Amino acid sequence: MIEAIEFDVQQLVVRLREDHSVSKLNLIGPDGSLYTQTFVATGETTARLQLMEVIPDLATSEHYTPGTHELVLVSGDETESIEIELQPDLEIVDVQQPEREQYSGDPGRLAVTVANRGSAPTWVHDVEYSNAPYYGANHDLADNPGLITFEETREPTELIIPPGETRSYIGTSTPLLFSEKDHSSCGSGSYQLTIHVGTGSGGAIQRQVQVSSGGSDISTGFRGQFTCSDNEVTLLPTTGDS
């Protein structure tokens, strides 16, 4: 009775055959309980199930439990079930120094590109750092997946990563800042830091990078801090990388 199953931002879209008799769809979570359902009007061939929801302005969200779900098609007294694997798998695949016009606020930020290698969508809500040379850039991730910390990326279509796609995020922390007493000048060396990314399911991923500072010094006009005009960022291998 099903022709296709797709994702549309925060919804699971089920396309039914023209001759179907389905009146209701139930999505059962990995724990065996009903997660969500929708009714199908006579003659309709497209049904939408609310899979997740993120509302940045209210700092609230709802996310399915990753794992194997059961989609139940109800036709009168008869039912048909199929298994659906809803398992996002995020990976940091690129990190760059963004152009200054790409964001407002303090300079010295990074653009982090995240790919979804999994089978279902999710979103990124926060990007933070550890071991950055500027102590003010080292923060823990926000605990609330509905708390979106980005200034430019706020809409669900920008936040959510469908399976097989990538999205880039510019956090508000400034790991590319230096203080004059801790760093002599641009081009004087390289350093390593760890990037932490908070996900919509409540989990986190991380990746270590090496930054080679170059170009000219750019003063931020704040407490003698500066950033460099040309920072080269290299992803360091993770366990299993060749």
Summarize pLDDT for 106-141 with one digit per residue, the tens: 778 999 999 999 999 999 999 999 999 888 889 999
Fold of 2-86: Immunoglobulin-like (2.60.40)
What is the DSSP secondary structure assignment for residue 167, as one 8-state letter? Answer: E
Query: Domain map of the chain by residue range?
Result: 2-86, 90-235
**pLDDT level of residue 242 (50, 70, 90 thresholds):** very low
Percentage of the chain with pLDDT > 90? 74
The model's pTM: 0.91
pLDDT (0 to 100) of residue 15? 97
Greater confidence (104 vs 214) lies with: 214
